[in-house]
A and B are shown apart, each in its own frame.
Chain A
Amino acid sequence: MHINPLEKKWLFASLALVAVFLGSIFYTAFERNIHPPSHVETVDSAKLHLGGEFAEDKLGVVGQADGSVRVTLVAGRYGFYPRQMSVPAGRPVTFRIASMDVLHGVHVPMTNMGTMVVPGYVAQVTTVFPKPGEYPMLCNEYCGMGHDHMWSRITVVAADQWQPTATTKGSN
């Protein structure tokens, strides 16, 4: 065995570099509690329409007592239902989404609102939209020939102008 002193230095430098990267990930994960969406919760995708949380009359945006907001969506070829929704800026918004057919993904560009929507599981993600504006909510996982057309509109309004609706019924 022969290890050059320069190699040894580089090995330590590499380890230090990786340690810095991992250190920053651990810091944000454990100190700031920033994790990817990982809500292990199953749901029967074939029976969403028959009742429960993802039934047609339960979908939409609901203000919670603690000031947070909950958005319940169904993803299906080819759209997110309801198709339009309005949420307040600067307040935590929790999305709960279930797929009624195949694999989908959801992403609101320029924000960190995104998760895969896997049939059989509830996808849950909580975020805060800092800026008011109109954003497209895109399907970012190939789900069939109409995939390009699968998107909804989400409007972020200033918190003081936002009207907390109870359950927005049939908001298409």
Chain B
Amino acid sequence: MCDKDIKKLALAHLWVAFGAFGVASLLGFYQVVERSGLIPALKSPALYYGSVSTHGVLMAFVLTTFFIMGFGYHTAANNGAGFNRCAAWAGFWVAAVGTLLAALPLLTGNASVLFTFYPPMQAHPLFYIGATLLVVGSWVWCVLMVMAAGAWKQANPGAAMPLPLFATTGNAILWLWSSVGVALEVVFQLIPWSLGLVDTIDVGLARTLFSWTLHPIVYFWLIPAYIALYSFVPLAAGGKLFSEELARAAFVLIVVFGLPIGFHHLYMDPMQASGWKLAHGVGTYVVAIPTLITAFTVIASLEMAGRARGGQGLFGWIGALPWNQPMVLAAGLSLLMLLLGGFGGLVNASYAMNAMVHNTAWVPGHFHLIFAGTVVTLYFAVAYRLWPSLTGKAFRKPCLVLGQLWSWFGGMAILTTPWHILGLLGQPRRISSVEYDSPLVQSWGAYEAIMIAGGLVLLLSALLFVYNLASAHWQGEASGEDTVAYAEPLHPPGKIPALLNGYAVWNWVILLLMAASFGYPIAQFFLMKTFDSSPWGY
């Protein structure tokens, strides 16, 4: 099903994603060393904030978007859904040119506004224009995926859509909905203002629009990881998917409830009233349910596989699992990090408790566990899974693949533990060095040193990952593997209710929820007397 052209398309996307990942990992290591203050010669806020901005953009926007597009095209083609390949390549080039345009001001220190943009800090217009093109390229992907799913349904009337295709379509719909917020901010506020067409900007409105995108984007990153958990992990463990129906329900819940929850990023902001924050907080807890379902279904699938392999007793099945399979190992490690990161997330999402940890080092500790831990570990595993069929080459040393996954997990543990402690000790997250003359900061020093060790392990692991892929691609021996298989459900889905086989109705539900949760909070800026920030550069 997956011909040469599709493989080339997927490989192009994945190499851009992982190339960006390699560069961003180098910057990440520089950052932990710089902010520790142990090497005074490295001290430079200009370099540090330029580096943080580039690290964030490369990891959160470039790695994710290109990975999701490449994996999505591959998934659609492998599940019998066709799409226009010229349009797909056009989308690739739009996104790639956008990335290059944004990279110029980032690398020259003219876009040190972090990946969250933060008006009224102003970046060079090229940064906003480049970021917009990256999103436009991803919209091409979204439209192609939605059309591919529609064509599949027409060709297979009444049949249950394959789970990976169903989830990929859901992700495309989620991203179309969620990217509207940042698009409105960039097109109507940031670009005209950075070009000098208007002098001032309404920061409250800009932050509200960004929060529209800022949480669902996490689910945009997470859904491909969940696809791996549901579709690759049970098969790699030698078993079946415990429940296909509940998997579908989980994806629908993520798409619907992942959207109207952005205000938990604004809990500490003065421009939104507490009632709206509480409403978004409730939604945030509701969207924990699909993750709880996912953890259950994936662990149940693993348990069945372990017992089928002869595992006995309450926990014996764990030892019986094939932990030398990268996909199984990645699932185990990422579920562990999801559990710990999820706990931190529940604290962050807690309406009032958030005040203690807001903008402290606790927050990067949390999201590195979820994003760099859970999501990226599963991206690694997907790359390892697809590589033999995409490149036709096998990995020469499987122990290097397993070692890479273990070292990434170890590095994350060493890096994020001190971050969580520093957060509770009150260290702010976005500082390049500790300049406070206060006894409190004495207790911070040791943790900064541990973070360097974690950063070093992670950098080596990241380089090993890129090396593994490159050495297989260009020096590996023929793998003889041409197709990628997906896990079978324990019970064949048979007849699936329309609500779990498409998103037509759910789009209307999302529209209602978004109007209810963002309608007035955005309208208020046009109804009440607001003041823009001072003009930039005065």
Contact = CB atoms under 8 A, between A and B. Distances in A.
Interface of A: 1-4, 6-7, 10-11, 14-15, 17-18, 21-22, 25, 28-29, 34-46, 100-103, 105, 107, 109-110, 112, 114-124, 134-136, 138-149, 151, 153
A149 B281 CA distance: 33
B65 interface: no
10 contacts: A4-B242, A25-B351, A40-B524, A110-B440, A114-B358, A117-B270, A119-B534, A147-B430, A148-B433, A151-B435
A120 B245 contact: no
A6 B268 CA distance: 40
B428 A140 contact: yes
B195 interface: no
Contact of B121 (A6, A44, A144): A144
A25 B297 CA distance: 28
Nearest to A44: B531
Contacts of B429: 140
B114 A142 contact: yes
Given A1-B496, A3-B246, A118-B271, 16 more contacts: A2-B245, A3-B245, A10-B296, A18-B285, A18-B288, A36-B268, A37-B268, A44-B531, A45-B531, A105-B428, A112-B356, A118-B204, A118-B269, A140-B428, A142-B49, A142-B121
Given A18-B285, A45-B531, A141 B355 contact: no
Contacts of A17: 292
B533 A45 contact: yes
Contacts of B436: 136, 138, 151
B118 A42 contact: no
A118 B531 contact: no
Interface stretch (B7-15, B94-102, B272-280, B477-485): B272-280
Contacts of B282: 22
A103 B532 CA distance: 12
A112 B350 CA distance: 13
Is chain B's interface secondary structure helix, strand, loop, or mixed overall? loop
B515 interface: no
A1 B498 CA distance: 11
Contacts of A147: 45, 430-432
In the complex, which range does the number of interface residues on chain B fall in?
35 or more
A107 B358 contact: yes
Contacts of B271: 40, 118, 120-121
Contacts of B288: 14, 18
Contact of B360 (A36, A37, A140): A140
B270 A122 contact: yes
Contact of B531 (A43, A101, A114, A138): A43
Interface of B: 45-46, 49, 114, 118-121, 202-204, 207, 242-243, 245-246, 266-274, 277-278, 281-282, 285-286, 288-289, 292-293, 296-297, 300, 346, 350-352, 354-356, 358-360, 425-436, 438-441, 491, 494-497, 524, 528-534
A90 B315 CA distance: 52
Contacts of A37: 268, 270, 355
Contacts of B202: 120
A28 B242 contact: no
A142 B430 contact: yes
Contact of A3 (B46, B204, B243): B243
Contact of B285 (A21, A44, A153): A21
Given A1-B245, A1-B497, A121-B271, A148 B434 contact: yes
A102 to B, nearest CB: 5
A117 to B, nearest CB: 8
A28 B533 contact: no
A114 B268 contact: yes
A45 B438 CA distance: 30
B435 A105 contact: no
Counting chain A CB atoms within 10 Å of each CB, the highest count among B266, B270, B285 belongs to: B270
A109 B425 contact: yes
Contact of B270 (A10, A46, A115, A144): A115
A17 B242 CA distance: 22
A129 B286 CA distance: 34
A134 B436 CA distance: 12
Given A36-B277, A110-B426, A28 B120 contact: no
A102 B118 CA distance: 9
A95 B332 CA distance: 47
B292 A141 contact: no
Contacts of B268: 36-37, 105, 114-116
Given A35-B352, A36-B267, A148-B435, A107 B428 contact: yes
A106 to B, nearest CB: 9
Contacts of B524: 40
B431 A120 contact: no
A42 B532 CA distance: 10
A120 B532 contact: yes
B497 A21 contact: no
Counting chain B CB atoms within 10 Å of each CB, the highest count among A46, A138, A142, A148 belongs to: A142
Contacts of A1: 245, 495-497
A101 B227 CA distance: 45
B285 A22 contact: yes
A19 to B, nearest CB: 9
Nearest to A9: B296
Given A1-B497, A18-B286, A122-B270, A34 B352 contact: yes
A145 B45 contact: yes
Contacts of A136: 436, 438, 440-441
A7 to B, nearest CB: 6
A49 B268 CA distance: 25
Given A4-B242, A109-B426, A114-B358, A29 B351 contact: yes
Contacts of B356: 112, 114
B163 to A, nearest CB: 14
Given A25-B351, A36-B352, A118 B270 contact: yes
Nearest to A28: B352
A11 B360 contact: no
A109 B273 contact: no
